[in-house]
Amino acid sequence: MRATSVKRLAHVALLLGVLAGVAGCSTPQKEIDVIGVVASEGGAYDGPDMVDKYTFDDGRTYSMRYHGHARAVEGPGVLPNVGDLLIAGTHPGNWMLVANLRDDWGGWPKGCYGLGSQAGYDTATTVELDFGVTLQKAPDFNPTDHGQPGRFGSMGAICLDRQGRVTQIEAVEAGY
């Protein structure tokens, strides 16, 4: 390979690295601490802090501590209720996603936990939400009407199984 070709490849690699770094700066990737169906929930003060405690239907527990009395949680929707699927983490900062059981509701398949108003990117094996969370696709993922992986808007909903894996995406926004 000629020296100029090697230099060009090095410049292209550097440029791609910079672009990947810039693209990743928009929303920090969130780390998932827990995924589970909430069996009970409660909160209590621990000194000056508020601590929410969730018990899942498989017996696991998860606590989220808030410094001070304010429940500072990043994420769409509300705090989970019994029967909801909770996906949560504490890095970076407290965050959660809550999906509601939509069993046979509005054409959703049995056992679907609906996560609404999420935009993102559908890849071959994952769904990367603009919120900064990457979810795995279930083995029985149904591509529904969109066919090919690609960008989807926030006007639809995502169906999750009990393990938080994506089973289908219903996009109603043009361009998906």
Give the per-residue pLDDT at 170: 78
Report CA torsion sign: 28, 78, 57, 135: negative
The pLDDT score that the predictor gives to residue 76 is 62
Burial class (CB in 10 A: 0-12, 13-18, 19+), 74: middle
pLDDT at 146: 53
Q: What is the pLDDT of residue 125?
A: 93
Distance CA 148, CA 81 (A): 34
Contact predicate 102/159, CB 8 Å: yes
What sign does the CA torsion over 140, 145, 149, 155 have?
A: negative
Q: From the first residue on, what is the mean pLDDT of each consecutive set of 10 residues in the chain (176 residues)?
A: 36 31 59 96 87 95 79 68 93 88 75 86 90 93 68 80 91 50
Cα gap 63→146, rounded to integer Å: 38
Q: What is the pTM of this model?
A: 0.76
Domain boundaries, the chain: 28-98, 102-176
Residues recorded for the chain: 176
